[in-house]
Amino acid sequence: MQPVSDKYFTEFRVLGKGGFGEVCAVQVKNTGKMYACKKLDKKRLKKKNGEKMALLEKEILERISSPFIVSLAYAFESKSHLCLVMSLMNGGDLKFHIYSVGTRSLAMSRVVFYSAQMTCGVLHLHSLGIVYRDLKPENVLLDDVGNCRLSDLGWPCRSRMAGLSPRRLEPMVIWRLKS
């Protein structure tokens, strides 16, 4: 991954907002390629002790290469934000599609297709020793032709935290599987 800064991109509209920041559509100035930039506010991260978790999410995204999980293209920080630049998924999230057509109108073939792609994403994470615990419609993003990818890998804990009770575990737990 080559070093970049916010000057490398042109920022467009906000795609979504979360507890630590927002996701914006961005374009690489010299190539015109479009991405989604997850901008995590450093002050909010620090206030909620989320800096280490954000860096761990970046580390996980760097390890992942799957057509069923959003991919990390760039990562950088500005004075006020940690930024993860990832695949732009123009089709919206699965929650939007379910509510726009209604659960009864969603074709069974489409349900099977999405389920298969989500399963492939989860299996890929498991093959890397990562347990994805935040599977929900708003974390499944669709591209412009209808394929889906898992997103928002959440706030993982390292395997030494595995002894905690399920109520204390974060949305994703990393298990370092021993061969």
Residue 165: is its pLDDT beyond 70? Answer: no
Residue 93: is its pLDDT beyond 90? Answer: yes
Residue 2: is its pLDDT beyond 80? Answer: no
pLDDT tier at 49, thresholds 50, 70, 90: confident
Domain boundaries, the chain: 6-86, 94-174
Q: Do the domains at 6-86 and 94-174 have one common CATH topology?
A: no
Whole-prediction pTM: 0.82
pLDDT tier at 19, thresholds 50, 70, 90: confident
Residue 29: is its pLDDT beyond 90? Answer: yes
pLDDT of amino acid 52:
80
How long is the chain? Answer: 179
Known binding-site residue numbers for ATP: 38
CATH topology of domain 6-86: Phosphorylase Kinase; domain 1 (3.30.200)
The residues, ordered by sequence, that sit 6+ positions from 64 with a Cβ below 8 Å of its Cβ are: 71, 72, 124, 125, 128
Q: Which residue among 93, 134, 144, 152 is the active-site one?
A: 134
pLDDT of amino acid 60:
87
CATH code of 94-174, in short, is 1.10.510.10
Residue 144 burial (10 A CB sphere; 0-12, 13-18, 19+): exposed
Label each residue of 17-82 as H, E or C.
ECCCEEEEEEEECCCCCEEEEEEEEHHHHHHCCCHHHHHHHHHHHHHCCCCCECCEEEEEECCCEE
Residue 52 burial (10 A CB sphere; 0-12, 13-18, 19+): exposed
Q: Are 125 and 133 in contact (CB under 8 A)?
A: no
- pLDDT tens, residue by residue, 52-89: 878 888 988 998 999 999 999 999 999 999 999 999 99
Active site annotation includes 144:
no
pLDDT of amino acid 153:
84
pLDDT of amino acid 155:
54
The percentage of the chain sitting over the pLDDT mark of 70, rounded to a whole number, equals 84
Q: Are 36 and 71 in contact (CB under 8 A)?
A: no
pLDDT average, residue stretch 134-143: 93
